């Protein structure tokens, strides 16, 4: 998986704004989002697709990959990111 170029990042400007709007989430580098200094989401690509990898807090929470060409998957990503950030705040 590779990092995204500026043109690809621009394609996902709306998603990036939605993720930055989650309380406590910052875009630490273009396409890389953290919460409380802990990596949360990274936008990555292979030769064919662009994905978001949502990391869990700790090794017991699995990484989930979302296909960013699928609008439903994008919505699920934002919802799951909100849930994980809220859980981190509850701990």
pLDDT > 90 fraction of the chain, expressed in percent and rounded: 62
Residues 44-56 have a mean pLDDT of: 88
Segments of 1-91 assigned E as strands: 25-29, 32-35, 38-45, 50-54, 64-67
Stronger pLDDT, 60 or 33, i.e. the higher one: 33
| Rounded CA separation 79/19 (Å) | 10
What is the C-alpha R_g of the chain?
A: 12
Cα–Cα distance, 75 to 36 (Å, whole number): 23
Average pLDDT over every residue of 27-31: 94
Confidence of residue 11 (pLDDT cuts 50, 70, 90): very high
Q: Exposed, middle or buried, 77 (CB in 10 Å: 0-12/13-18/19+)? A: buried
pLDDT at 16: 96
In the prediction, which pLDDT does 63 show? 85
Domain ranges of the chain: 6-90
**pTM, 2 dp:** 0.86
- Express each pLDDT in 53-64 by its tens digit: 998 765 566 789
């Amino acid at each position: 998986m590779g990092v995204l170029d500026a043109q690809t990042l621009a394609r996902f400007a709306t998603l990036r704004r939605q993720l930055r709007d989650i309380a406590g989430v910052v875009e630490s580098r273009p396409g890389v989002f953290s919460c409380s200094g802990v990596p949360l989401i990274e936008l990555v690509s292979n030769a064919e697709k662009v994905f978001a990898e949502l990391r869990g807090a700790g090794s017991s929470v699995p990484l989930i990959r979302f296909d960013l060409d699928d609008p439903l998957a994008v919505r699920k990503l934002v919802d799951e990111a909100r849930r994980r950030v809220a859980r981190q705040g509850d701990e």
